Amino acid sequence: MIGFHIHARSRAVSPQVVTQFRGLPVANVSDTMSRMMAGGARLRPMHDGTPMAGPALTVRTRPGDNLLVHKALDLAQPGDIIVVDAGGDLTNAIIGEIMTRYAMSRGLGGLVINGAIRDSAEIRAGSFPVFAAGVTHRGPYKDGPGEINVDIAIDGMTIAPGDLVLGDADGLLAVGFDQVEAVYAATQAKQQAEAVMMQQIADGCLDTGWVDARLRQLGCGGVAE
């Protein structure tokens, strides 16, 4: 049936790639991707802020329904991030404490819900990564339809099954399977450049001359020569 199907995931980023990216600031990874990729400012960490990294197992479901999310929890491999596009609707919670604890027991890397959660106090007190768009006490339905392991999009950010998913206090980001090596190299270079700037700030010798140069280039008046 169209729109109601469970697909097999054909590829996923390796544990080595996940380890490389774990702990890198999402903002710096985003900068190296031309600041064009983002999961939307609404998707916030609902846990204690522990960073998240892992391969995506994607779910597209009808808003307010979590039948396919339950199935995804059984299919996911240790380290996987279950990424659920529930349309961003906040009327009904897609997951709560029980499903979160089940995900933890299976060794998953985190949950991303483009929709609402509940039992937020319990989730907030824990370190298991849960990102969501909002909170409501109203529970979900379990009727479908939905799909597992299909390409999804959240606020314009596409996520394919097996892509790298990252999250921290600044939000959520996906890195395409074929882009991880280039993005990692660029992010490492940015990390090194920022370390130099931080040292210059500490030493009181940071050169900010580029600001006036840029203003003059843009035709801003009143900039000292």
What CATH number did the domain enclosing 11 receive? Answer: 3.50.30.40
* Same domain (yes/no): 137, 163: yes
- Name the pairing type of β-strands 52-61 and 164-168: antiparallel
The answer to whether residue 41 sits within a structural domain is: yes
Residue 177 has which token pair? Answer: 């399977």
* Same domain (yes/no): 41, 146: yes
CA distance 47 to 51: 10
* Same domain (yes/no): 80, 156: yes
pLDDT, residue 221, reads 85
Return the residue matching tokens 């929890």. Answer: 73
The answer to whether residue 133 sits within a structural domain is: yes
* Same domain (yes/no): 56, 130: yes
> If you ran DSSP here, which 8-state letter would residue 35 be given?
T
The answer to whether residue 103 sits within a structural domain is: yes
> If you ran DSSP here, which 8-state letter would residue 9 be given?
P
Q: In degrees rounded to 5, what are phi and psi of residue 7?
A: -100, 155
- CA triplet 16, 19, 46: central angle to 5 degrees? 135
Those residues of the chain that have pLDDT short of 50 are none
Q: Which of 133, 108, 102 is nearest to 120 (CA)?
A: 133
Q: Which of 185, 194, 174, 89 is nearest to 135 (CA)?
A: 89
The three-state secondary structure class of 65 is strand
Q: Which of 144, 138, 58, 45 is nearest to 90 (CA)?
A: 138
The three-state secondary structure class of 216 is helix
Q: Please report which residue ranges of 22-78 form alpha helices under DSSP H.
A: 26-32, 67-75
Return the residue matching tokens 């960073």. Answer: 51
Q: Which range of residues forms the domain containing residue 141?
A: 4-178
CA distance 166 to 55: 9
Chain centroid, CA 192 distance in Å? 23
The total domain count for the chain is 2
CA distance 103 to 97: 10
Which residues are known binding-site members for Mg(2+)?
119
pLDDT, residue 224, reads 78
Output the CA–CA distances (angstroms, integers) from residue 169 to 46, 65, 174, 188, in the order listed.
10, 27, 15, 20
Which residues are known binding-site members for substrate?
96-99, 118
Q: Which of 170, 163, 177 is nearest to 83 (CA)?
A: 163
Which residues are known binding-site members?
96-99, 118-119
Element (DSSP H or E) covering residue 82? strand 81-85
* Same domain (yes/no): 46, 139: yes
pTM: 0.93
The answer to whether residue 58 sits within a structural domain is: yes
- CB of 103 closer than 8 Å to CB of 118: no
* Same domain (yes/no): 40, 118: yes
The answer to whether residue 224 sits within a structural domain is: no
